[in-house]
A and B are shown apart, each in its own frame.
Chain A
Amino acid sequence: MIWLNALVQGIMLGGLYALFACGLSLLFGVMEVINLAHGDMAVAAGYLAVVLIPATHIGALWSFVIVVPIFAVGGYLLQRTLLQRSLDVDPLITLLVTFGLSIVLENVLLEVFSADSHSFAVGSLVTGAFKLNAQISIGYLPLLILAVAVVVLIGLQLLLSYSKTGRLIRAVADDREASQITGIDYRHIFGLAASIALGTVALAGLALGMYSQFNPTTGPSYLIYAFEAVVVGGLGSLWGTLLGGVVLGIATTVGFQLSPNFGALGPHLVFLAVLAFLPRGLLPKKALA
């Protein structure tokens, strides 16, 4: 029963990982940009909420209504200026640029907010839980985060499959040059994809702030999990990203059950095993589809 509990908690935690990973997965799947500032952007979203919540008297839970649009617009602008310029020079430059962005963000946050940890007060949501039985109880907050992750990933999948914007994004992801001769302005489409990705990054940052504490240096550690979730699931596959997040979540909680030291190590071991035996991930896919 202890193990079943570890499994259930792992799936919950996987929701947070998957939410973190889907922006990374989308950016990589569409324009093959690996955003090394991904984790720091999520933390920045958390700090934006730290500022906005007292200023607007909005509840922490509803802060996404403001933070997500700001990040979506920011994502479009970031793509059209910094990222597109570096993509035009050499796709590898984007690694350096996002790495630099990560350092800048981290230090600006340190300067402005100090190294103190923050967290959002979401009242009984954090502590509340319902009991399945004596051993297994499910927290409301982890369940909510998992639900948000599933809704975001299904929504993204539907958007990509059936909407006009989604089809244009897939065409550009499929063959950037050929998309041009169908009249698609791929730079604009890249901007839209980055906008969606940063919107999900903001959600992940807010979820992180409710789930646990964060400080300016938290970002990179979550970037690792997001990165591993994308690779474990299979590059460019959104369903794979959800699965990858859940697998890593389970590896974490089962690892903790084995030994407290193993909790942090578990997901990394799973990641290495997948790389060694299933290098294309659990749900390999050629392009976004």
Chain B
Amino acid sequence: MTAEVLSRKEALLKLENISKRFGKIVVADNLSLKIGPGEALGIVGPNGAGKTTLFSIISGDVVPDKGRIYFSGELINRLSPAKRCRLGIGRTYQIPRPFTAMTVFENVLVAAYEGAGARGQNAYRLSTTILEQTGLFHLANRPGGQLGLLQRKRLEIARALASRPKLLLLDEVASGLTDPEVASLVKVVLGLRSSGISIIWVEHVMRALMGSVERMICLASGNIIADGSPSDVLASPLVREVFLGTEPDVPDSGEVTVAESLAPDESEDRTSQITRMQHSGDYTLQTIELDQPEANQ
């Protein structure tokens, strides 16, 4: 199933020609994207590529300059973050933002109340289930501000889940964690996938992403420069160039198109589709593991 065959109604989330710039920095450049129900999409890209901003545009924290956002066929451009959450868009923050003075249970409970619209005992039951699912139940009465990093990341996921999302936006939930912690987190995410939730996962930790998503895009300067299976995307020369910081053979001044539609027929062969990339300045070198592009596929 490719995203292209999905019409607007079938796509859970559809971004149409989204543009956003902060001053001179372009974080989304006429960007279009579709996610189907149950699909898991990984997003990679150098720092400043617009990954987190893309999440903020989807969740409603940032208003795009141009473009349309559809969720379940409904135009949601003008809806507040709270309304989008109630519609079924859950997000986590890259730097976890628990309600520090509230207990872990209460953190999840408020999302169950307002995000999922649960009442009374149902809200309590939903919160308890989610705490068990995310491995936080034993910490239920600990204040959110007293959690360690792994637990905070889990709480971000738990709070997003408590709003009963159809689409979950995970923002670097694996970064900063040890290998066993990443493994246990991946297990949580795989558990979610089996329940049918669509996931968009921004991540630098490739070993977390490789086994968890079936589709990957690479963002650079607000453009999608690659879209396909994780192994194909990571094998693409353009992506390697962006990540490894090798200089493209063009001058470094301003916005220059370095590659124009490498794949001749975009709609046919999405996996090798590399549209174009606008280069403006340096890319930060990322610590990713490009040496095993086929891993876990």
Confirm or deny: A182 has a beta carbon within 8 angstroms of a beta carbon on chain B. yes
- Taking CB atoms and an 8 Å cut-off, the chain B residues in 81-118 that contact chain A are 81-83, 85-86, 90-91, 93, 97-102, 106-107, 109-111, 113-117
Asked whether, in the complex, the Cβ of B101 is within 8 Å of the Cβ of A289, the reply is yes
The residue in chain B whose Cβ has the minimal distance to the Cβ of A170 is: B102
Confirm or deny: A174 has a beta carbon within 8 angstroms of a beta carbon on chain B. yes
Q: Which residues of A contact B115 (CB under 8 A)?
A: 182-183
How far, in whole Å, are A181 and B159 apart by their CA atoms in the complex? Answer: 9
Tell whether A185 pairs with B101 under 8 Å between CB atoms, given A164-B113, A168-B113, A177-B61: no
How far, in whole Å, are A286 and B93 apart by their CA atoms in the complex? Answer: 22
Size band of the interface chain B makes with A: 20 to 34
Residue in contact with A180 in the complex, picked from B82, B106, B117, CB distance below 8 Å: B82
How far, in whole Å, are A286 and B102 apart by their CA atoms in the complex? Answer: 11
Number of A interface residues at 8 Å Cβ cutoff, please give it: 21
Asked whether, in the complex, the Cβ of A179 is within 8 Å of the Cβ of B160, the reply is no
Q: Which residues of B contact A181 (CB under 8 A)?
A: 59, 61, 81-82, 85, 90-91, 93, 159-160, 163
Tell whether A182 pairs with B114 under 8 Å between CB atoms, given A167-B109, A175-B97, A177-B61: yes
Q: Which residues of A contact B82 (CB under 8 A)?
A: 180-181, 183-186
How far, in whole Å, are A24 and B159 apart by their CA atoms in the complex? Answer: 31
Interface string of A167-196 (1 = CB under 8 A from B): 110110011011111111110000000000
How far, in whole Å, are A182 and B117 apart by their CA atoms in the complex? Answer: 11
Tell whether A183 pairs with B61 under 8 Å between CB atoms, given A167-B102, A170-B99: no
Tell me the minimal C-beta distance from A237 to chain B in angstroms.
Answer: 11
How far, in whole Å, are A185 and B114 apart by their CA atoms in the complex? Answer: 8
Tell me the minimal C-beta distance from A191 to chain B in angstroms.
Answer: 14
How far, in whole Å, are A9 and B61 apart by their CA atoms in the complex? Answer: 53
Confirm or deny: A92 has a beta carbon within 8 angstroms of a beta carbon on chain B. no
How far, in whole Å, are A168 and B107 apart by their CA atoms in the complex? Answer: 10
Asked whether, in the complex, the Cβ of B85 is within 8 Å of the Cβ of A167, the reply is no
Asked whether, in the complex, the Cβ of A170 is within 8 Å of the Cβ of B59, the reply is no
Asked whether, in the complex, the Cβ of A287 is within 8 Å of the Cβ of B101, the reply is yes
Asked whether, in the complex, the Cβ of A171 is within 8 Å of the Cβ of B102, the reply is yes
Asked whether, in the complex, the Cβ of B101 is within 8 Å of the Cβ of A182, the reply is no
Confirm or deny: B220 has a beta carbon within 8 angstroms of a beta carbon on chain A. no
**B61, B110, B163: residue with the most chain A Cβ atoms closer than 10 Å:** B110
The residue in chain A whose Cβ has the minimal distance to the Cβ of B87 is: A183
Tell whether A174 pairs with B102 under 8 Å between CB atoms, given A183-B86, A183-B111: yes
The residue in chain B whose Cβ has the minimal distance to the Cβ of A180 is: B81
How far, in whole Å, are A125 and B177 apart by their CA atoms in the complex? Answer: 66
**B82, B91, B162: residue with the most chain A Cβ atoms closer than 10 Å:** B82
How far, in whole Å, are A181 and B114 apart by their CA atoms in the complex? Answer: 10
Confirm or deny: A288 has a beta carbon within 8 angstroms of a beta carbon on chain B. yes
- Taking CB atoms and an 8 Å cut-off, the chain A residues in 152-172 that contact chain B are 164, 167-168, 170-171
Instruction: Give 4 nearest A-B pairs by CB, closest first.
Output: A183-B115, A182-B111, A183-B114, A180-B81
Which B residues contact A (CB, under 8 angstroms)? 59-61, 80-83, 85-86, 90-91, 93, 97-102, 106-107, 109-111, 113-117, 123, 145, 159-160, 162-163
What are 24 A-B interface contacts by the 8 Å CB criterion?
Answer: A164-B113, A167-B106, A168-B110, A170-B101, A171-B107, A174-B100, A174-B102, A175-B99, A178-B99, A180-B81, A180-B85, A181-B61, A181-B82, A181-B90, A182-B85, A182-B114, A182-B162, A183-B113, A183-B114, A184-B82, A185-B82, A286-B101, A286-B145, A288-B101
Which A residues contact B (CB, under 8 angstroms)? 164, 167-168, 170-171, 174-175, 177-186, 286-289
